[in-house]
Structure 1
């Protein structure tokens, strides 16, 4: 099959350095730059390597590419050395960029020579490949090198790194604390090794400046190879990192990756019954977040690129969209098995430690979202053997919550609702803490946590019935459902966000109420659902997601950007998040309003090509809707895909 194409980004749009493109290798390594190829973050890198899957280092920031045609030269690269000051001709020679199956094809023209460059990362190879197709009427020379460093991706180098270069024939080795290998293939051409003369190059990262982070880096520049092609041009491949010379056929690897991606789309089409391009693009976008974690020997989910690791809560929320909608049931099963295997005292991991020593468990909702993901998996796959094997583990989780477990998590014997909270520990998805300042304190009984608790109890009952067993928590379910009525704020026509231990309640208007009401077992009348939707549409709804707090609240912060403290203070205090929009769409479909549900997703479908190209951003500013956070976020993509499929099926 033919992979779906993105819109064609012409010269003006492609030169917009705020659009970014991402490639991933399924191990935690990635490649990321602006659409035009210029690095704009400390995280930008042609190849960001990994100690699977999240200890990631930058060694190769960007390639240096120079054309020589009969003594006339032009560079194909570009990067900023100071705000607004560019080095290289790359933006001027850029003609277009288009993504085929979310793999970028960049076309540049200089001195009558057309160069098309494809980039991809073969799955699970720890390798990046650049394929150049050169169309020239006369002999042409392509000089290849790069800007190199040796640092953690979260940092910059105030001084140039110490690296050793070795070039022999078509092979180069760059040695620092890690080793980077490069191989050039040029069938029909001649490859000449150059003697590297490394020089210090200053770099400015505009995205880091906008985030109030260190934005000046220093790297080593070096030219390594000269490739001479005869009149008519030819093909050149640059293979970076990971494999011994000759171990990978770059053009064969390209065909294999195109075939793999085509298979992903076909499987999603068979699963959903949909053949539209939005489903295809979102299916391929979902693939970027699935990685193999060696420490637990299983699939895991990277929460967002470029800086997030893998997280339990994000994995459980994203599972339906990333894995079930796309028909990747084996991986969904593996993900669920991993988290159940590492459950302790009724809690599944919030995150795994990269050294393999264990996991962190500071989350109240990760375990509860797992019940939703588990039942959806069993329903989608029909895997009753899996349900039978793990029902005892699910019951053990529920019992720990009834008895009480870590971080103050436990059922209140007075009403059967679930409370949670411990000093200086945030347990829900609104989890920002700045030193001793808990920005969104939600200790007590949060509304979505109790809807998830009711849902978990109900899932146990349905699975038990499906397997011919007696439910063990029916009384707890009945009591919690009856007590949930305490969350309804009749004056506001909207649920309270938190019921506090002292009998007071937080009436802040937040999207957590919609997360709660969208779950299938939450007790609410049709009138309450309609009222809650009206309030959410007045206070929270935007074309790109839901605000985390009403603009009428005194604590509302509509700007998102600048220094980390400023960003964190706004993170859940008005900033827009796309992923809760999935709950809003679910509620609209439950009320039979397909037209509004389809309209609600229109802005995010357009956004696919506006920031992280082919992805969905983590957040947007509450007032201006400017994109922020990670430009590629797992649960944003997952919930947009899940909701899009649900709407399309109505």
Structure 2
């Protein structure tokens, strides 16, 4: 539900009862705006090797794990003690009673508040990451009639976030007063803050602790490691209760979060401002926009080199990807009132152009970028025009237009990976043996699973969109367009992709047509410069609905195709083989909604989004998953995916605006 906070600002609140909160498959994401993040189950159980604190050394990449989970134990003066944390040590077997003691979990602006009850003692824990900090903070509020003792510490690692310790971590723990240091690698510093209670440092020896990661097992990856547990402090909580903070930071040096409670208040105010900004920018004031506006913030990060804003494609394992960033730009920034971020994001990828191509992805190790994408640069031009159209920022358009023209010139004359305009028909050819270039980009060793060398349908639509954008931007600045002839030629030849009663997925070099039924045709026809007749649009919609449409997205290959793979799961080679061969993706559903709205089918468009509205609270809470298994629709891939969130938000806003217009027009004649 959406309500108002103390200052009258919007607040998104979702309450999970004791049973729901025990669901370890529901995950919560916290981020710091630099690529660092923390994730775990609603109640804080580690679910993956990507645990409770991963921090970037070269923002937003080169990320290392420091903490798997906080250690939390409670003891009563009259005897008895209990572990408030819970670690899965084998499938459905837990160390600690953290799940048993749950009274519930509340998400406020997607910040988790865990409530536990033991022998009349109520412990509420809030968690957050201050922006730009490389730090995760846990705030404890203890309510107790009698004095109790809260023991705090952590389960520590020091490794690449994608890896696991093969033995006991070689770490040393030193406690001095209310500060502790965990050394042996990059280092972790820990601090306890307890203004209302006495704190006793502990000298207990660290101990090895087995941890099992259920989602790593599901992905066929190594799933068990040994971490280092350490009890660091005992906090003597007086009768009546107290508040306590545990602050865990990556590295042994850096600025402290001086007042954790003030920092939390600042973060909640910032998140509520995000909601207000999205409501104002979109004109749609509802819970979905509010939730997705806060979710969108997680993906926008500050890049150190090249400097500027960027987009983490998905958590927990993706870095920032160019194609994903440009597709996501509208939803993440323009519809959330973050025009400055949009401009900076465009600038980041304009700086990184090479021979007319944007980076497909920046490498996680911080060592450069890959440029194997044919659509990234074209999406960049489309996104740039959307930004200028919404903001009226002609100054930025004037700065960027020479780079747009150079980008298009590379495509006209030919650039890497066989990307070039066909001299005969003006359509855009792309393809190189062993290289994956479109968004259907899986490659297993030397096997490109969905080879689409030739003239893919969505690439032709993007080509037309980019050429048309150059023309409109030029005219808007009073300049002579540079690519009008190329636009007219290619537009006149787009019809070559229509074969009988459907568009080809791609044309081959020999002039043949691949008639696989895939969602790429929806992406193509949703772009405004794609020439399509009413009959073609109607037949395409019928094809999508009969073979691709599901409640949460579009199949990547028709289930009627002999190559269809309905299960997304298992080891990596199995997952990758199914990734674009029937697995359902959420983000193309927005293009299907675009097509429905073009035909005035507002009710059908709203119905198409109902599944994703419910999915918001199924997996990565408040976010949208990357993919779903083709047959079962079980969420898979990244539980937190940028373009899934962004495109759902874009589609939802478009439908809500159409509903508002229809309501304003009143009922038709009877």
Post-superposition shift, 1:351? 2.2
Q: Distance in 1 between matches of 2:137 and 2:240?
A: 23
Superposed, 1:394-413 pairs within 5 Å as: 394-413=404-423
String of CA shifts for 1:230-255, please: whole Å, max 9, x gaps.
10001001111156686521011011
Q: Distance in 2 between matches of 1:632 and 1:118?
A: 21
The reply on whether 1:61 has 2:68 as its aligned counterpart is yes
Q: Distance in 2 between matches of 1:616 and 1:337?
A: 27
Q: Distance in 1 between matches of 2:409 and 2:474?
A: 15
Alignment correspondent of 1:630: 638
SS of equivalent to 1:90: coil
String of CA shifts for 1:300-337, please: whole Å, max 9, x gaps.
10000000000000000000000111111111111111
Aligned residues: 648
Q: Distance in 1 between matches of 2:448 and 2:54?
A: 37
Alignment correspondent of 2:5: none
Post-superposition shift, 1:169? 1.2
Superposed, 1:72-83 pairs within 5 Å as: 72-83=80-91
Post-superposition shift, 1:557? 0.3
SS of equivalent to 1:63: strand
Post-superposition shift, 1:4? 2.7
- Decide whether the 8 Å contact of 2:52 with 2:69 is kept in 1: yes
Q: Distance in 2 between matches of 1:499 and 1:404?
A: 18
2:287 to 250, 264, 277: 277
String of CA shifts for 1:263-309, please: whole Å, max 9, x gaps.
11111111112221110110000000011111212111000000000
- Please provide the CA RMSD for this pair: 1.3
2:96 to 79, 85, 88: 88
Post-superposition shift, 1:489? 2.2
Alignment correspondent of 1:418: 428
Q: Distance in 2 between matches of 1:506 and 1:635?
A: 27
Provide TM-score, normalisation by structure 2. Answer: 0.95
Q: Distance in 2 between matches of 1:20 and 1:144?
A: 23
Post-superposition shift, 1:153? 1.5
Q: Distance in 1 between matches of 2:433 and 2:375?
A: 17
String of CA shifts for 1:416-440, please: whole Å, max 9, x gaps.
1000011111010000111111100
Q: Distance in 1 between matches of 2:249 and 2:56?
A: 8
Alignment correspondent of 1:483: 493
Alignment correspondent of 1:540: 548
- Decide whether the 8 Å contact of 2:55 with 2:134 is kept in 1: no
Alignment correspondent of 1:35: 42
Q: Distance in 2 between matches of 1:184 and 1:640?
A: 40
- Decide whether the 8 Å contact of 1:149 with 1:160 is kept in 2: no
Post-superposition shift, 1:5? 3.2
- Decide whether the 8 Å contact of 2:47 with 2:213 is kept in 1: yes
1:225 to 226, 233, 250: 233
The reply on whether 1:314 has 2:321 as its aligned counterpart is no
Post-superposition shift, 1:256? 0.8
SS of equivalent to 2:14: coil
Alignment correspondent of 2:353: 343
Q: Distance in 2 between matches of 1:239 and 1:62?
A: 12
String of CA shifts for 1:153-191, please: whole Å, max 9, x gaps.
212122111001010111111012111111111111011
SS of equivalent to 1:67: strand
The reply on whether 1:567 has 2:575 as its aligned counterpart is yes
The reply on whether 1:593 has 2:624 as its aligned counterpart is no
Q: Distance in 2 between matches of 1:244 and 1:456?
A: 45
Q: Distance in 1 between matches of 2:66 and 2:239?
A: 34
- Decide whether the 8 Å contact of 1:127 with 1:239 is kept in 2: yes
1:442 to 441, 452, 455: 452
1:304 to 314, 337, 359: 314
Post-superposition shift, 1:84? 2.1
Post-superposition shift, 1:607? 0.5
- Decide whether the 8 Å contact of 2:37 with 2:54 is kept in 1: yes
Provide TM-score, normalisation by structure 1. Answer: 0.98
Post-superposition shift, 1:3? 4.4
Superposed, 1:17-416 pairs within 5 Å as: 17-48=24-55, 50-70=57-77, 71-241=79-249, 247-353=257-363, 358-416=368-426
- Per mean C-alpha deviation after superposition, the further-off stretch among 477-486 and 465-474 is 465-474
Q: CA, structure 1 residues 627+353, in 2 after alignment: closer, same or farther (shift >3 Å)?
A: closer
String of CA shifts for 1:206-250, please: whole Å, max 9, x gaps.
111111111111111111010011100010011111566865210
String of CA shifts for 1:85-141, please: whole Å, max 9, x gaps.
111110100110111001001000011100111001111122111111111001011
String of CA shifts for 1:453-488, please: whole Å, max 9, x gaps.
011111111111111112221121111111110111
String of CA shifts for 1:132-151, please: whole Å, max 9, x gaps.
11110010110011111111
Post-superposition shift, 1:358? 4.2
- Decide whether the 8 Å contact of 2:197 with 2:235 is kept in 1: yes
Alignment correspondent of 2:3: none
Alignment correspondent of 1:531: 539
Q: CA, structure 1 residues 49+240, in 2 after alignment: closer, same or farther (shift >3 Å)?
A: farther
Alignment correspondent of 2:21: 14
Q: CA, structure 1 residues 609+536, in 2 after alignment: closer, same or farther (shift >3 Å)?
A: same
Alignment correspondent of 2:524: 516
Task: Specify every segment of 5 or more residues in structure 2 that has no aligned partner in the other structure, as ranges.
Answer: 1-7, 659-670
Q: Distance in 2 between matches of 1:620 and 1:246?
A: 41
Q: CA, structure 1 residues 378+445, in 2 after alignment: closer, same or farther (shift >3 Å)?
A: same
Q: CA, structure 1 residues 313+136, in 2 after alignment: closer, same or farther (shift >3 Å)?
A: same
1:643 to 643, 651, 667: 651
The reply on whether 1:465 has 2:480 as its aligned counterpart is no
SS of equivalent to 2:142: strand
Task: Specify every segment of 5 or more residues in structure 1 that has no aligned partner in the other structure, as ranges.
Answer: none
